[in-house]
Amino acid sequence: MISSGDRVFPPLPRRRFVEVLLGGGFLATVVAFVYPVLRYLVPPRASDLGSDSVVAGHVGELKPNSGKIFRFGNRPGLLIRTASGEYRAMSATCTHLSCTVQYRDDLRQVWCACHNGKYDLNGRNIAGPPPRPLEGFEVQVRGDEIFVRRRREA
């Protein structure tokens, strides 16, 4: 025991001290090199292309009872013209396993080819594996252009 004045310190063996110093230094180095690598592995956030509103198509482009895929940011959207001539727009990403859905004019439904999921024209999941409805978008016809935008949160 080493005593200093009247306080008594427990012995710190020299070997143990060196071990802690070396081990700590080594650990710090590993952290200093591994941390940037881990951060590097995380892909930077992709910039969302464009605003919340896109031109999905032009009037007259779609016959009644047909649909088309359009680009909504980085994801596909589905624009449908119903048999009665009304426009509907929704996300085209199936809520089951993210395949891109399509409009089936024979069924008058939205259909996913991957696992036979079906949605109605409001995007509600009605048959097959999809767990949730497709996200619906707002459609506005302005002049010749059909604008689609995300629904405002209520």
Partner 1 sequence: MSPLRNVRNWLDQRLEWDDLIAPLRKKTVPLHRLSYWYFLGGITLFLFVIQVLTGILLLLYYRPGANEAFESVQYIMTQVQFGWLIRSIHSWSANLMIFTAFAHMFSVLFLKAYRKPRELTWVSGVILLFLVMGFGFSGYLLPWNTLAFFATKVGTEITGQVPIIGKPMMIFLRGGEEVTGATLSRFFGFHVAVLPGLATLLILLHVLLVQRLGISIPPKLEAQWTANPSAKREMKFFPNFMLREMMAWYVALGVLGALAALFPWNLGVKADPFVSAPAGIKPEWYFLFMFQTLKLIPPKVWFIDGEVLGVLVFGLVGLLWLLLPFFESDHPSRTKRWITGLAVFALAYVAGMSVYGYLAK
Starting at the edge strand that comes first in sequence, how are the strands of the sheet with 66-72 ordered?
53-58, 145-150, 136-142, 87-91, 75-81, 66-72
Of the candidate spans 35-43, 77-85, 126-134, 135-143, the one that interacts with partner 1 by CB under 8 A turns out to be: 35-43
By three-state DSSP, how is residue 134 classified?
coil
> x/- site string to partner 1, residues 44 to 63, per CB under 8 A?
x-------------------
Q: Kindly write down the DSSP assignment for every residue of 1-17, as one continuous string.
A: -EEETTEEEPP--HHHH
Nearer to partner 1, 9 or 40 (CB): 40
CB of 36 to partner 1, least distance (A): 4
Alpha carbon distance 61, 145 (integer Å): 10
Give yes or no for residue 40 binding partner 1 (CB under 8 A).
Answer: yes
Give yes or no for residue 31 binding partner 1 (CB under 8 A).
Answer: no
Question: Tell me, what DSSP letter sits at residue 62?
Answer: S
Pairing of strands 87-91, 109-112: unpaired
Of the candidate spans 36-44, 112-120, 124-132, 133-141, the one that interacts with partner 1 by CB under 8 A turns out to be: 36-44
Q: Which of 2, 8, 42, 154 binds partner 1 (CB under 8 A)?
A: 42
Nearer to partner 1, 49 or 83 (CB): 49
Nearest to 64 by CA among 40, 87, 33: 87
Contacts to partner 1 by CB under 8 A = 29, 32-33, 36-37, 39-44
